Structures are given as C-alpha cells and as structure tokens.
C-alpha cells in the first residue's frame, strides 16, 4: 500500500462519516465477518477488487454444504445474503493505503476516496507464488494443484506427480498423496535434498523419485 500524506489524510477525515468497520478483502473470512457485523447492526464497508486466490478454480470442495460449487457461485450467494443487511456495503475499489488515526483507522482507495472507521479488518488473502517453469501457470487449477484436500479426490487412483526439492515438505506431501493414488512420483527438479530417512520411507511406500 502507498503512503498517503498526513495533512491530506486529515483534510479528508474531517469530511468523512465514521464507519464502524472497514473490511479489506472479499474472501470467505471477510464476507462472513460482514454478515455477523451486519446482523449486529454495525455500519460496515467491505472492499473487494475481485481477484480471489481461487479465481482459476472451477469448483470448490470440502466446504460443508457447498462441495462441488463454482467459487463465483459461493461469492454470489454470500453477496445476495449480505444484501439483506442495509448497514453492510460492498465496494469494488482497491484499498491502497491504511493508517491509524485518532478516531480509529483511515483507508484510501485506488480512485482516491478516503474512509474512516473505528475498526479495520484486514483479511486480504494469500497470493500463490508458482514455480517459473513453463506450463505451471496455464495448468494451475486444471491439472496442477496446491492442496490435496481441495482437489485430491478428483485425481484419485490416477498417476500423480508431486513437485519439489525439499525434505519434509515435499517428501511428506509425496507420502501423503499415496492415500489418493499408489502411482505417485516425486519430481525433485535436480538433485534432491531428501534425507536418507525420507528416501527409505518413500521407497517403502512405492513412491518413485524422478
């Protein structure tokens, strides 16, 4: 977030209504917080510029009552239900600056508007850093995944490759994947950093190393 000059900020704050809560982010945590706050009659302004972490994903799984639902449908249902609470507003601008001020917090959006709230909730999400290798970005969410709990079931009993060079993390993931498929290979992309203990465990579980 960019810094915002203090005298400019103070000028805006004098003209701004004090909200109860500004929420930065529109993921499930943010939307659920907005729902509970709306039900508590709080004035809430939620900012979501619409690039969720799972925007490449076609369906979400393992979320009780919404298993197999497209992620945008989950968001649409949440927005529809929030519309019943008039004290909750959703804004599609991006928050680019936030600061502690006397009354609470000020936030500034990309289009230059400023808002003031007693509380600021930051749940702006995670950004996944993909390996640079060709094809990773194109296949992400289609045939390449980061979470077996989200997408492992759909890939069960198929030949699976786990990518990574480390020891416990990737070795552990390769071992874990044998719950979904006994045909699993760990691709270390160069010399592996696996300890002999992990190598033995992988061998014992018929996980190939490549």
Identified binder of ligand FAD from the candidate list 34, 42, 43, 54, rule CB under 6 A: 54
Contact flag: residue 172 with ligand FAD (CB under 6 A): no
Q: Whole-angstrom Cα distance, residue 71 to residue 59?
A: 6
We find the least distance from the C-beta atom of residue 194 to ligand FAD, in angstroms, to be 26
For ligand FAD, which stretch binds (CB under 6 A), given 4-12, 37-45, 49-57, 178-186?
A: 49-57
Taking the least distance from each CB to ligand FAD, the nearer of 38 and 198 is 38
By CB under 6 A, residue 82 contacts ligand FAD: no
Contacts of 95 (CB under 8 A, 6+ apart): 1, 22, 24, 47, 107, 108, 109, 110
Retrieve residue 195's tokens.
């300890």
**Rounded to the nearest whole angstrom, what is the least distance from the CB of residue 2 to ligand FAD in the complex?**
11
Q: Could you say whether residue 192 binds ligand FAD (CB under 6 A)? A: no
Positions 118 through 157 that interact with ligand FAD (CB under 6 A): 124-126, 128, 141, 147, 150
Taking the CA atoms of residue 139, residue 140, residue 141 and residue 144 in that order, the dihedral angle to the nearest 10 degrees is 70
62 binds ligand FAD (CB under 6 A): yes
Three-class DSSP category at 38 = helix
Residue 208: how many CA atoms within 13 Å on its side-chain side? 9
Binding mask 90-109 for ligand FAD (x = CB under 6 A): ----xx--------------
Handedness of CA 9, 46, 36, 19 (dihedral sign): positive
Identify which range of 9-17, 33-41, 53-61, 179-187 contacts ligand FAD by CB under 6 A: 53-61
CA–CA dist 155, 178 (Å, integer):
12
Q: Which helix (H) or strand (E) segment is 107 a member of?
A: strand 104-109
Indicate whether 209 belongs to the interface with ligand FAD (CB under 6 A).
Answer: no
Contact residues toward ligand FAD (CB under 6 A) are 24-29, 47-54, 56-57, 60-63, 94-95, 124-126, 128, 141, 147, 150
């Amino acid at each position: 977030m960019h810094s915002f000059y203090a005298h400019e900020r103070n000028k805006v704050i004098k003209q701004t209504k004090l909200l109860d809560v500004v929420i930065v982010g529109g993921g499930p945590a943010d939307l659920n917080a907005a729902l509970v706050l709306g039900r508590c009659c709080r004035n809430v302004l939620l900012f979501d510029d619409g690039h969720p972490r799972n925007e490449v994903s076609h369906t979400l799984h393992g979320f009780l009552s919404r298993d197999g639902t497209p992620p945008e449908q989950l968001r649409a249902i949440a927005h529809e239900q929030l519309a019943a609470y008039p004290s909750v507003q959703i804004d599609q601008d991006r928050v680019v600056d936030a600061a502690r001020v006397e009354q609470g917090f000020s936030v500034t959006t990309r289009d230059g508007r400023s808002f003031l709230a007693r509380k600021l909730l930051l749940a702006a999400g995670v950004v996944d850093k993909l390996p640079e290798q060709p094809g990773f970005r194109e296949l992400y969410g289609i045939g390449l995944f980061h979470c077996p709990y989200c997408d492992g079931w759909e890939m069960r009993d198929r030949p699976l490759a786990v990518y990574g060079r480390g020891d416990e993390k990737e070795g552990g993931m390769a071992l874990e994947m044998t719950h979904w498929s006994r045909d699993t290979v760990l691709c270390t992309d160069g010399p592996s950093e696996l300890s002999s203990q992990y190598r033995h465990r992988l061998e014992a579980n018929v996980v190939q190393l490549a």
